[in-house]
């Protein structure tokens, strides 16, 4: 899925844009599934893990978000549980395999406000190793004015630990925490918007600072996001109360640190293993 130049750009910059990630004939059906899911219509009868916006009650000025829509919809599952994407993310991270931690369905309609700059790994103290690699898939053509995702080039190499406070939904200054981190590093941040056609997207490192501005256009911005960890990741009970740990620690087994594949399936592993049952999904990639 990535050539050697793209992989090198990922390691140098902490992200890499890609013109094509999913075929054209999947884009419109995925938009239709977004319509259903954000109306609260779940094909499988199983609700996503996090439903932060629903039609009729959600703030129309916020970016709409659902987490782990793969539980609710077979088409979403066929994309984010793909071995092709799992293999690509494992290769970028240098893992022997990849498991899904979370998907995001994000919808920024015209006029919606910003998403604050943040680092994904900062939310992940509830498992070890505390690292993630992400695939971001655009379902609409993206633009800087449309509030596409922006990455701070090279910020995956900045110091980690005591990051400035991060506010996800509609902060007054969406770049402020990243700029504070850059000042601590003694660097001037280089923010790069991902401008790709529908079906394109990007890959990014879990320590890369990213966020997005308001949608100043009349075009909707919908994206499907896949976050993966190493296939060997294990729960860390000391971090269950940190970040999004309170949501996902409910899947822990009493007495061990195993991450149950029913909830965190292994998408690809270099020995050919894949969580049983996933191959029943039709992989459009």
SS in 3 state form for 228-245? Answer: EEECCCEECHHHCCCCCH
Q: What is the pLDDT of residue 165?
A: 73
Distance, in Å, from the CA atom of 137 to the CA atom of 226, rounded to the nearest integer, reads 8
Per-residue buried b or exposed e for 232-252, using 16+ beta carbons within 10 Å of the residue's own CB: ebebbeebbeebbbeebbeeb
Measured distance between the N- and C-terminal CA atoms of the chain, rounded to whole angstroms = 10
Q: What is the pLDDT of residue 97?
A: 98
Q: What is the pLDDT of residue 221?
A: 97
Q: What is the pLDDT of residue 222?
A: 98
For 124, other C-beta atoms within 10 Å of its C-beta total 26
Instruction: Say which residue the tokens 């997207």 belong to.
Output: 201
Q: What is the pLDDT of residue 58?
A: 87
Q: What is the pLDDT of residue 1?
A: 82
CA 27, 30, 32, 35 torsion: positive or negative? Answer: negative
Q: Which residues are registered as beta bridge partners of 135?
A: 203, 226
Alpha helices in the chain (DSSP H): 4-13, 24-38, 74-80, 83-93, 176-185, 245-248
| Residues 66 and 50 sit within 8 Å (Cβ to Cβ) | yes
Q: What is the pLDDT of residue 147?
A: 97
Q: Which residues are registered as beta bridge partners of 115?
A: 169, 212
Q: What is the pLDDT of residue 85?
A: 98
CA 275, distance to chain mean position in Å, is 21
Instruction: Say which residue the tokens 């402020």 belong to.
Output: 176
Q: What is the pLDDT of residue 161?
A: 78
Q: Which residues are registered as beta bridge partners of 223?
A: 106, 138
DSSP 8-state class, residue 106:
E
What does each C-alpha distance from 61 to 38, 115, 177, 195, 209 come to in angstroms?
15, 11, 22, 22, 23
Q: Which residues are registered as beta bridge partners of 169?
A: 115
Which domains can be identified in the chain, with CATH numbers? 4-280 (2.60.120.620)
- What are 212's two structure tokens? 């997005």
The tens-digit pLDDT sequence of the chain (285 residues) is 899 999 999 999 999 999 999 999 999 999 999 999 999 999 999 999 999 888 888 899 999 999 999 999 999 999 999 999 999 999 999 999 999 999 999 999 999 999 999 999 999 999 999 999 999 999 999 999 999 999 999 999 999 877 767 788 889 899 999 999 999 999 999 999 999 999 999 999 999 999 999 999 999 999 999 999 999 999 999 999 998 999 999 999 999 999 999 999 999 999 999 999 999 998 898
Q: What is the pLDDT of residue 198?
A: 98
């Amino acid at each position: 899925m990535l050539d050697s130049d793209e992989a090198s750009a990922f390691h140098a910059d902490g992200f890499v844009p890609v013109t094509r990630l999913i075929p054209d004939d999947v884009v419109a059906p995925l938009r239709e599934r977004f319509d259903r899911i954000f109306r609260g219509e779940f094909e499988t009868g199983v609700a996503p893990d996090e439903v932060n916006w629903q039609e009729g009650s959600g703030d129309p000025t916020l970016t709409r978000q659902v987490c782990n829509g793969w539980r609710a919809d077979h088409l979403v599952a066929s994309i984010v549980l793909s071995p092709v994407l799992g293999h690509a993310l494992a290769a970028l991270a240098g893992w022997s395999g990849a498991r899904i931690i979370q998907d995001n369905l994000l919808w920024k309609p015209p006029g919606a406000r910003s998403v604050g700059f943040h680092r994904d790994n900062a939310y992940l103290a509830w498992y070890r190793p505390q690292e993630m690699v992400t695939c971001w898939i655009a379902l609409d053509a993206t633009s800087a004015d449309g509030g596409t995702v922006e990455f701070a080039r090279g910020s995956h190499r900045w110091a980690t630990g005591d990051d400035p406070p991060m506010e996800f939904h509609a902060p007054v200054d969406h770049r402020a925490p990243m700029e504070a981190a850059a000042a601590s590093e003694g660097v001037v941040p280089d923010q790069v918007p991902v401008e790709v056609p529908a079906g394109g997207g990007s890959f990014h490192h879990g320590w890369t600072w990213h966020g997005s501005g308001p949608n100043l256009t009349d075009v909707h911005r919908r994206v499907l996001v896949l976050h993966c960890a190493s296939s060997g990741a294990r729960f860390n009970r000391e971090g269950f109360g940190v970040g999004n740990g309170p949501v996902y620690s409910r899947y822990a087994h009493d007495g061990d640190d195993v991450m149950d594949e029913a909830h965190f399936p292994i998408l690809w592993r270099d020995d050919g293993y894949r969580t049983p049952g996933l191959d029943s999904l039709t992989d459009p990639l």
